[in-house]
Amino acid sequence: MLGSRSIFQNHKLSALDTPNRDFSIKEWLPLKELAADKNILFGASARYNQVISDEQFAALFAQECSLLVPEWELKWSAGDHQLRPSPNEFDFSAADAMLNFAQTHNLLFRGHALIWHESLPRWFQQVVNHQNAANVMKHHIETVVGHYKGRMHSWDVVNEAIEYDPLASQRADGLRRTPWFEFLGPDYIDLAFRIAAKADPDALLVYNDFGIDYNTAMDKAKRRAILGLLKRLKAKGTPIHALGIQAHLRGDSLDFDPKSLRQFLKEVAALDLKILITEMDVNDSKLPADIQRRDRIVAGVYEDYLSVVLDEPAVIAVITWGLSDRYTYLSKFFPRSDHQPVRPLPLDTNLQPKLAWNALARAFQQTHKR
């Protein structure tokens, strides 16, 4: 039984579930082709073992996507992959194998994430301090970006530098007091972008963040803080090219407001920045167990959100955080209280398209060409 806070019991579900909503599509083509027809990139994240060991999944990934971003393998340390086993070591083996997969299937390759406060290796806390932080950052970015120079579509240079809830921040700029901030001050962000630009002048350099999707006080504060950061960086001449909007959406949210989201995108684009939707999925953990209803609501969220963001010409890419329910971080991070498998992504666990797939296809078919 869903918790008492569920919208289902408040009978607000009808605001989200329209049983007669039409998700039909004009023609069944791979999502990458439907997106490419409008000069938009469609891609997804994946993990090493998914593209190297799961042949069935890898084939679908190559069929549907034109871009691959490693979910773990280009972080300092995540899951069973250690890009940085020690202060003087880099292990590119997993990411190199994924780049090889991408190149074999003519996919673009995207790097995530150079500077973040999460997924730092255990040695980081013991080793990095005020005196050496700038050199540690420079060494990491120069070595990693240099290793993939000329082969990377884009890099998330800095990830999630704004507080989860800027309203609760002691700082007017809403910057998180991450280790990088504590050691180097707010200019760590500008520094990271300058080092990355020097290491690979051809890569699109992205500031990536989440929590701007809804018309809530927190999301509106996050939008203001991110816009403020982007304006300060542009004013300093920081070599930043794009904003990455993660778009980890909630199937049960009643706070989606197309108008205010559209305005935010306009203001970002007015800074002469491109926009990438970088980690899209729809969390269905609070939705009813009934799969037909759940899939319909999830698909509606995908299509409603994308119809707004794709209206902004600066939006050049839509990337989902995983391609199939077979592999989604949400299973572990946001499991359902009824223990039913979650269904946040375009393909189901058997790699069959769901209504969410239709929603993406429809959004690409209905938007304008860039």
List active site positions. Answer: 160, 279
* Least distance between ligand G3I and beta carbon 75 (Å): 5
Kindly list the residues in this chain that would bind ligand G3I in the complex (CB under 6 A).
71, 75, 78-79, 118-119, 159, 210, 246, 279, 329, 332
3-class SS of residue 244:
strand
Q: Show the CA angle centred on residue 321, arms to residues 363 and 214, nearest 5°.
A: 65
**Residue 85 tokens, joined:** 């086993």
236-267: buried (b, 16+ CB within 10 Å) or exposed (e) per residue?
eebebbbbbbbbbbbbbbeebeeebbeebbeb
User: Could you tell me the sign of the dihedral formed by the alpha carbons of 45, 47, 48, 51, in that order?
Assistant: negative
Nearest to ligand G3I of 194, 248 (CB atom): 248
Task: Write the CB contacts of 19 (distance below 8 Å, at least 6 apart in sequence).
Answer: 296
Q: Considering the complex, state which of residue 347 and residue 361 has its C-beta at the smaller distance from ligand G3I.
A: 347
Q: Which is nearer to ligand G3I, 165 or 311 (CB)?
A: 165
Of the two residues 320 and 367, which places its CB atom closer to ligand G3I in the complex? 320
**Which tokens belong to 101?**
């997969």
What is the rounded CA–CA span in Å between residue 367 and residue 362? 9
- In the bound complex, what is the minimum distance in angstroms from residue 217's beta carbon to ligand G3I? 21
Minimum gap (Å) between residue 35 Cβ and ligand G3I:
22
**Choice between 25 and 74, CB closer to ligand G3I:** 74
Alpha carbon distances (Å) from 11 to 7, 8, 15, 16, 64:
6, 5, 9, 10, 37
Burial zone of 316 (CB within 10 Å; 0-12 exposed, 13-18 middle, 19+ buried):
middle
The least distance separating ligand G3I from the CB of residue 110, rounded to whole angstroms, comes to 12
Q: Where are the beta strands (DSSP E) in the chain?
A: 41-46, 67-70, 108-115, 154-159, 204-209, 242-245, 248-250, 274-283, 315-320
Report the residue number, 78 or 191, with the smaller CB distance to ligand G3I: 78
Coil vs helix vs strand at 205: strand
Q: Pick between residue 111 and residue 288 the one whose CB is nearest to ligand G3I.
A: 111
DSSP assignment letter at 168:
G
Q: Name the minimum Å distance from CB 84 to ligand G3I.
A: 13
CB of 23 to ligand G3I, least distance (A): 27
In single-letter form, the type of residue at position 31 comes to: L
Instruction: Render the burial of 91-128: b for 16+ CB within 10 Å, e for the rest.
Output: eeebbeebbebbeebebbbbbbbbbbeebbbeeeeeeb
Q: In the bound complex, what is the minimum distance in angstroms from residue 44's beta carbon to ligand G3I?
A: 12
Q: Answer yes or no: are the C-beta atoms of 294 and 288 closer than 8 Å.
A: yes
The residues that bridge with 115 in the sheet, in sequence order, are 158
